């Protein structure tokens, strides 16, 4: 990847290399405490192994759009965004009791094997997974502050780093509090904004910009671009979660329905449904034994009400809003081109 040309695959390789070396070193230090920690160390590495590295990319271009040059130290700091994401994934899968992620067992499922047949092995595995998530969040901060960037640069980003963590936790808590309640679109969109949109796009951009010394006007532009794009990302994820091919998404289609999670897809379906259709949905949603037949029934309801088309429209409108905001920013042409490409890769995807 040359400094003026965005090559997503080359950037991903740079981030992967940083994460692989950093997390492997920390895993070795963990096992040095006691060999019994080897399964926990392996799972810490496994959780970080996959990903498109979008969050690191937004942080990188938050830096470059200010006019700063390519920097290996900045790539290390940006890679810390992926450790935040890995921590969030472990905790989210644990909260939702999701069995699969990237086509492989989630952390709390994988760790059951380390506990054999001892009593309450499943509960113990969940506790271990929780601690893996906590460790990853701690490692994110460590990688960030040891990235090699000047202390003054890191200090500028500290308030945004704190906001990222606070608002991510707020969004996850809101989802838990609103799961199983009467579906409401505005409430679902607020969950999306705080649980996903901000830490996926807006905060990485703001952190990269803060590291580079971005002014208030540019930071406002980052938010105007990042918030709608982050919402589009999660709306797409909700569609893929229910209608996507599990072979490509790596996740089970039934998770959101069994958990009766407050997705915009469900909220919009509920809003459009008549009383009889709502009764049918009540009989299906939240059932842990919901099967493929039940999945087809819910899909049929949604298709009949054209809910997926409405969510597609919401995605398209938010991408357009983000790109309009980007057009209004005074940033280098190569940064604008990269952020345009990232907008499409984040919101127009198949898995």
101 pLDDT tier (thresholds 50, 70, 90): confident
| Mean residue pLDDT across the chain | 93
pLDDT (0 to 100) of residue 3:
52
Averaged pLDDT, 232-252: 85
pLDDT (0 to 100) of residue 245:
83
For residue 136, which of 100, 79, 90 has the smallest C-alpha distance? 90
What pLDDT digit, counting tens, does each position of 267-326 carry? 999 999 999 999 999 999 988 888 999 999 999 999 999 999 999 999 999 999 999 999
| CA-angle at 145, arms to 6 and 338, nearest 5° | 15
247 pLDDT tier (thresholds 50, 70, 90): confident
What is the Cα–Cα distance from 315 to 336, expressed in whole angstroms? 20
**CATH assignment, 8-347:** 1.10.600.10
Q: What are phi and psi of 119, to 5 degrees?
A: -60, 145
Averaged pLDDT, 80-99: 93
What pLDDT digit, counting tens, does each position of 40-73 carry? 999 999 999 989 999 999 999 999 999 999 999 9
> Over 80: is that where the pLDDT of 250 sits?
no
For residue 297, which of 337, 257, 349 has the smallest C-alpha distance? 257
pLDDT (0 to 100) of residue 122:
92
CA 183 to chain centre: 22
CA-CA distances (angstroms) from residue 149 to 3, 114, 155, 212, 252? 18, 39, 10, 10, 40
Instruction: Give the tokens for residue 236.
Output: 């797409």
Look-up: residue for tokens 């054209």?
A: 306
Query: What 8-state DSSP symbol labels residue 287?
Result: -
pLDDT (0 to 100) of residue 351:
52
CA-CA distances (angstroms) from residue 24 to 74, 82, 140, 233? 20, 15, 14, 30
> Over 90: is that where the pLDDT of 235 sits?
yes
pLDDT (0 to 100) of residue 5:
76
Instruction: Give the tokens for residue 45.
Output: 């590495």
4 pLDDT tier (thresholds 50, 70, 90): low
pLDDT (0 to 100) of residue 336:
97
Q: What proportion of the chain, given as a percentage, has pLDDT over 90? A: 81
> Over 60: is that where the pLDDT of 108 sits?
yes
What pLDDT digit, counting tens, does each position of 158-174 carry? 999 999 999 999 999 99
Model-level pTM? 0.94
What pLDDT digit, counting tens, does each position of 10-28 carry? 999 999 999 999 999 999 9
pLDDT (0 to 100) of residue 119:
87
Averaged pLDDT, 138-150: 98
2 pLDDT tier (thresholds 50, 70, 90): very low
pLDDT (0 to 100) of residue 103:
78
> Over 90: is that where the pLDDT of 191 sits?
yes
pLDDT (0 to 100) of residue 1:
47
Domain ranges of the chain: 8-347
What is the Cα–Cα distance from 2 to 188, expressed in whole angstroms? 40
């Amino acid at each position: 990847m040359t400094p003026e040309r965005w090559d997503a695959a080359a950037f991903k390789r740079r981030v992967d290399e940083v994460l692989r070396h950093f997390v492997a070193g920390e895993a070795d230090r963990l096992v040095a405490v006691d060999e019994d920690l080897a399964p926990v160390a392996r799972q810490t590495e496994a959780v970080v192994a996959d990903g498109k590295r979008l969050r690191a990319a937004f942080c990188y271009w938050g830096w470059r759009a200010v006019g700063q040059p390519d920097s290996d130290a900045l790539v290390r700091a940006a890679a810390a965004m992926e450790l935040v994401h890995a921590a969030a994934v472990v905790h989210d899968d644990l909260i939702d009791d999701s069995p699969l992620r990237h086509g492989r067992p989630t952390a709390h499922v994988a760790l059951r094997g380390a506990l054999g047949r001892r009593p309450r092995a499943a509960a113990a595995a969940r506790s271990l997974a929780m601690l893996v998530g906590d460790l990853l969040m701690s490692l994110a901060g460590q990688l960030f502050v040891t990235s090699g960037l000047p202390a003054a640069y890191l200090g500028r980003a500290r308030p945004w780093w704190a906001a990222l963590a606070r608002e991510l936790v707020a969004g996850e808590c809101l989802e838990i509090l609103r799961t199983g309640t009467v579906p409401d679109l505005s409430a679902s969109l607020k969950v999306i904004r705080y649980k996903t949109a901000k830490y996926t796009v807006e905060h990485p951009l703001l952190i990269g910009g803060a590291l580079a010394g971005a002014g208030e006007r540019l930071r406002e532009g980052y938010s105007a671009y990042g918030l709608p794009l982050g919402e589009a990302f999660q709306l797409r994820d909700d569609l893929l979660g229910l209608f996507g091919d599990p072979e490509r998404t790596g996740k089970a289609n039934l998770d959101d329905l069994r958990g009766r999670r407050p997705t915009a897809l469900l909220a919009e379906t509920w809003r459009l449904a008549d009383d009889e259709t709502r009764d049918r949905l009540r009989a299906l949603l939240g059932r842990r034994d919901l099967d493929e037949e039940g999945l087809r029934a819910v899909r049929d309801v949604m298709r009949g009400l054209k809910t997926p088309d409405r969510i597609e429209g919401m995605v398209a409108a938010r991408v357009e809003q983000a790109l309009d905001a980007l057009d209004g920013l005074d940033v280098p042409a190569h940064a604008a081109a990269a952020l345009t490409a990232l907008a499409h890769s984040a919101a127009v995807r198949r898995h």
